[in-house]
């Protein structure tokens, strides 16, 4: 394979940052590199506004942003600082002084709020995350955070019960049945009431997404990296890639011909509400389709948990915006 073709493939798969002016990456191309303290950082150019920029989420330091983010995430997964240093040396071939790691933990605790919460508990890094690989026509990795699930589950016990049962139950047949309809498919055709939406350009979710995307080497990786980063480093996310379903006779107003299935990217509990989040990095779907899909998730989760509809909020987001709405119209 020629070097030119290899470079073209790398650039196609590369996760390009949004232009800070246009707030989209559709017209962004690579534009060389710039020397910084720890080597080189990529530069980009927007062909629409001709702005040139880099994609550094962390100010220039001795260590690359990916090293800092990885070390803090290991700490938040329950590893003691001494063990984090050992893991970084063995797995990532990077030597970090103890004082440097402590500085990172203190400096970024506002950006990664679980850092504060983590100090209150004696965590077991082998048990903090529970995982189940799902073979649902395509592979999904269903993850839960044991500590946050137990704490947040006190507000919504039936949600906690549903997630724990889903880890152990085998409803795979619903997702493997070719007759079942995915929420993302039905969302394109169903006529649901259009909810009022509220858009915020910058909040904790958009900032955390920007950090998480630093860990993704390609477009394919970013979904999993963003979900895991939220689960490990915020205080609200209790589970990711959560499978949810409706039997065809459970929602007469939807006129289902077969069972409805889907996977919710992120489920959070905060401010005494359940938040269902969908990561939309490209944001290339219509708002109607996206809100339909999230509303179907909410209907299915409400049916499974019996929690009152007024406690649900839905949102879709990427690193440049966060749009939320009430799926049941209150």
Task: Retrieve residue 131's tokens.
Answer: 């995982």
Query: Rounded to an integer, what distance in angstroms lies between the CA atom of residue 63 and that of residue 108?
Result: 15
CATH class of the domain at 3-54: mainly beta
- Find the mean pLDDT for residues 226-236: 98
C-alpha radius of gyration, the chain, whole number: 21
Identify the burial level of 286 via C-beta atoms within 10 angstroms of its C-beta, where 0-12 means exposed, 13-18 middle and 19 or more buried: exposed
Q: What is the pLDDT of residues 29-51, one digit of tens each?
A: 877 655 555 555 677 778 888 77
Q: Name the nearest CA neighbour of 279 among 210, 232, 330, 194.
A: 210
Q: What is the pTM of this model?
A: 0.85
Query: Rounded to an integer, what distance in angstroms lies between the CA atom of residue 298 and that of residue 326?
Result: 10
Lowest mean pLDDT among 3-12, 37-46, 188-197, 269-278: 3-12
Query: Rounded to an integer, what distance in angstroms lies between the CA atom of residue 291 and that of residue 324?
Result: 9
- What is residue 172's predicted lDDT score, i.e. its pLDDT? 87
Q: What is the pLDDT of residues 46-82, one digit of tens each?
A: 888 877 766 656 655 678 889 999 999 999 999 999 9
Q: What is the pLDDT of residues 169-182, one digit of tens each?
A: 778 889 999 999 99
Comparison of pLDDT for 26 and 155, the residue scoring more: 155
**Can you give the residue ranges of every domain in the chain?**
3-54, 65-118, 129-325
């Amino acid at each position: 394979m020629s070097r030119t073709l290899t470079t073209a493939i790398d650039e196609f798969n590369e996760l390009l940052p949004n232009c800070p002016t246009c707030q989209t990456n559709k017209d962004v191309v690579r534009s060389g590199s710039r020397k910084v303290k720890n080597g080189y950082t990529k530069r980009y150019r927007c062909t629409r506004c001709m702005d040139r920029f880099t994609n550094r989420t962390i100010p220039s330091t001795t260590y690359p942003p990916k090293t800092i983010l990885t070390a803090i995430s290991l700490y938040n997964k329950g590893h003691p600082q001494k063990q984090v240093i050992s893991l970084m040396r063995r797995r990532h071939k990077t030597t970090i002084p103890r004082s440097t790691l402590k500085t990172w933990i203190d400096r970024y605790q506002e950006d990664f709020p679980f850092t504060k919460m983590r100090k209150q508990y004696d965590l077991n890094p082998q048990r903090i995350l529970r995982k189940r690989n799902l073979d649902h026509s395509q592979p999904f990795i269903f993850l839960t955070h044991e500590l946050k699930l137990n704490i947040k589950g006190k507000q919504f016990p039936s949600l906690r019960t549903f997630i724990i049962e889903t880890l152990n139950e085998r409803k795979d047949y619903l997702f493997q049945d070719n007759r079942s309809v995915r929420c993302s498919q039905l969302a394109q055709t169903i006529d649901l009431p259009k909810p009022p939406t509220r858009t915020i350009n910058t909040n904790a979710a958009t900032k955390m997404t920007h950090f998480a995307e630093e860990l993704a080497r390609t477009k394919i990786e970013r979904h999993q990296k963003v979900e895991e980063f939220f689960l490990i480093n915020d205080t609200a996310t209790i589970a990711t890639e959560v499978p949810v379903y409706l039997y065809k006779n459970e929602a007469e107003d939807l006129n289902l011909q077969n069972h409805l299935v889907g996977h919710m990217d992120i489920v959070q509990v905060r401010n005494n509400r359940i938040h269902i989040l969908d990561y939309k990095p490209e944001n290339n779907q219509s708002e109607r389709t996206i809100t339909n899909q999230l509303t179907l998730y909410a209907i299915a989760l409400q049916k499974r948990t019996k929690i009152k509809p007024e406690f649900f909020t839905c949102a879709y987001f990427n690193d440049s915006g966060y749009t939320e709405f009430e799926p049941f119209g209150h």
